Structure 1
Amino acid sequence: MKKQLDLTLYLVLDPVLCDGINGMVNTTKFAVENGVTAVQLRSEQEYSGRNWYKAAQALKEVLIDTQVPLLINDHIDIALAVDADGVHVGQSDLPVEVARRLIGEDKWIGLSVSNYSQLERVPWQLVDYLGIGPIYPTPTKKDAAEAIGIAQLTELVKAKQCPTVAIGGIGVNNLTEVIQTGIEGIAVVSAICGQGDIAKATSDLIRKIRQAR
């Protein structure tokens, strides 16, 4: 059975900011205890497949007794190996049709989009949620597209046909305008990963989201 998919506060783990696998595990523990509703393990070229498997396995153990799903970015083989709750794919990754065939019907699939042209090509019957962004400039994803801003995000949110999360440069100081577009949630990396007090950083984000709603 699928875990619930609540996009309110979606944590994307960065192994560099979190200082390795143990850091990602500890970050996840504190973040989930303080309000994170979904966790994604994002791939980095510096990590081998074996290390990604170890990281995914460790994160699965942390989340197994919670309702917070674990999603694996791009690496469907690792998602299958650890029985993760789903995968997230980008525009240059495996096509959604292939990802769905491999992962099965009982797993979540998320897809990244950054403009209206990509939104028009979304196979809505196959995806469970979208990630839209980057909203603001972000240093944590080297190959990120140009920031789209709030005006374009608002238009994309109006046209979407499934739950959606915004990502890219979002933090406590600018999330209010993002949430007020009507989007279901925000995804963050550096707003939690690498923070000195993970619990406080997470609870501050949750409080701000609730205020914005």
Structure 2
Amino acid sequence: MDLRLYGITDERFMGLKDIAEKVAAAIEGGVTVIQYRAKKKEAIDMYEEALKVREITKKYHIPFIVNDRVDLAIAVGADGVHVGQKDLPVSVVRKMVGESFIVGLSTHNLLEVERADRENVNYIGFGPIFLTNTKEKPDPVVGTKLLKEAVSVSTHPVVAIGGINSDNIREVLECKPAGVSVVRGIFQGDPYENAKKLREIIDAEMG
């Protein structure tokens, strides 16, 4: 799976009427993975939006991941699910989805990274690298120094997340993660232009 530019949707910047259009623009700009994430919506609204995103990602042959909700991921035929430290345990998720399903896990410190090494996941997210307001109660900032350590010790591909944008992405890429996960830096404003700018930097730095 190409994790270079991992885009995450945000309900502040899109809704049912334009989510498909914005996701398509982000993919055309260079996003390599799409995760659907919504924290304040009813299940039926999430289902309808996720179906639209699933349709777009199929069209562009891009992996589609659903945040937190294993049931929703299964219901819309997603390619995978991304869970956090307080969601269902990875072992339980694996029993529900099988071995071919993509499973990602959020980590926020080196202990969680080491624990993740014993889990049957396809990749881990590590962060927040910088300050971010995409969550009401964000975890403590880890910074690039810890990111570099996480990359060096993890047996799984590491995706950096948290406050990453075109101004600071080079500092993140110097730590050699498998990719970067971006929310606001893609979907606030023009998703195509934002993704294109980020992807150009990524390709130049990662080769």
**TM-score range with shorter-chain normalisation?**
over 0.9
Partner of 1:14: 10
TM-score normalized by the length of structure 1: 0.93
Q: Kindly provide the amino acid, as one letter, of the partner of residue 185 in structure 2.
A: A
Q: Which structure is higher in helix share?
A: 2
2:193 maps to which of 194, 200, 203: 200
Q: Is the 8 A contact 2:30 2:195 kept in 1?
A: yes
Q: Please list every run of 5 or more consecutive structure 1 residues that lacks an aligned counterpart in the other structure.
A: none
In 2, the alpha carbon distance for the partners of 1:136 and 1:24 equals: 26
Instruction: Give how far 1:191 is off.
Output: 0.4
Q: Please list every run of 5 or more consecutive structure 2 residues that lacks an aligned counterpart in the other structure.
A: none
Partner of 2:63: 69
Q: Is the 8 A contact 1:130 1:164 kept in 2?
A: yes
In 2, the alpha carbon distance for the partners of 1:144 and 1:112 equals: 12
Q: Kindly provide the amino acid, as one letter, of the partner of residue 62 in structure 1.
A: I
In 1, the alpha carbon distance for the partners of 2:118 and 2:22 equals: 32
Instruction: Give how far 1:153 is off.
Output: 0.7
Instruction: Give how far 1:66 is off.
Output: 2.3
Asked if 1:145 is matched to 2:131, the reply is no
Asked if 1:211 is matched to 2:204, the reply is yes
| CA displacement, residues 29-49 of structure 1 (integer Å, 9 cap, x when unaligned) | 0011121000001131x2001
RMSD: 1.1
Moved over 3 A (4+): none
Q: Kindly provide the amino acid, as one letter, of the partner of residue 206 in structure 1.
A: R
Partner of 1:155: 149
Instruction: Give how far 1:105 is off.
Output: 1.1
In 1, the alpha carbon distance for the partners of 2:103 and 2:118 equals: 11
Instruction: Give how far 1:131 is off.
Output: 0.4
Give the secondary structure class of the aligned counterpart of 1:207.
helix
In 2, the alpha carbon distance for the partners of 1:122 and 1:48 equals: 30
Q: Kindly provide the amino acid, as one letter, of the partner of residue 16 in structure 1.
A: R
Give the secondary structure class of the aligned counterpart of 2:201.
helix
Partner of 1:78: 72
Give the secondary structure class of the aligned counterpart of 2:172.
helix
